[in-house]
């Protein structure tokens, strides 16, 4: 059972470059979300989705885009990376509010 799979595990970007962080889950969860984790700030919600074609903004959406074309995949796009986006990014999914969030192992992104 793969659960939530994130790729890549590590990435270094230069300021202004773009990239996509991949997230896939095999649990048929409708709810998927992206968080960023920064020291002393916990996890902050970037974007979330409740099914294919439905996305919404979380607490810190600026600089990030998402789309949900399938139930399984929820990629996070950085169109023009900035040093402030250096962080560890987690994708998480769940069945509904009563079920736990299942987290991927994270992507550590450094923007120089």
Partner 1 sequence: AQSVTQPDIHITVSEGASLELRCNYSYGATPYLFWYVQSPGQGLQLLLKYFSGDTLVQGIKGFEAEFKRSQSSFNLRKPSVHWSDAAEYFCAVGDTFNAGGTSYGKLTFGQGTILTVHP
CB atoms within 10 A of CB 18: 11
Q: Which of residues 7-46 bind partner 1 (CB under 8 A)?
A: 30-31, 33, 35, 40-45
**Beta carbon nearer to partner 1, 3 or 75:** 3
CB of 2 to partner 1, least distance (A): 13
Q: Does residue 61 bind partner 1 (CB under 8 A)?
A: no
> What are the CB-based long-range contacts (under 8 Å, 24+) for 61-66?
64/34, 66/34
Determine contact, residues 46/109, Cβ cutoff 8 Å.
no
Q: Which residues bind partner 1 (CB under 8 A)?
A: 4, 30-31, 33, 35, 40-45, 48, 50-51, 54, 58-59, 90, 92, 94, 96-98, 100-106
């Amino acid at each position: 059972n793969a659960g939530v799979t994130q790729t890549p595990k590590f990435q270094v970007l230069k300021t202004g470059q773009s990239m996509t962080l991949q997230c896939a889950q095999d649990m048929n969860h409708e709810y998927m979300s992206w968080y960023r984790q920064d020291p002393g700030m916990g996890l902050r919600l970037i974007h979330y989705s409740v099914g294919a074609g439905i996305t919404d903004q979380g607490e810190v959406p600026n600089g990030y885009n998402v789309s949900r074309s399938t139930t399984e995949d929820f990629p996070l796009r950085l169109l023009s990376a900035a040093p402030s986006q250096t962080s560890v990014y987690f994708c998480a999914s769940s069945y509904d509010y009563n079920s736990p969030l299942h987290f991927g192992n994270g992507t550590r992104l450094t923007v120089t």
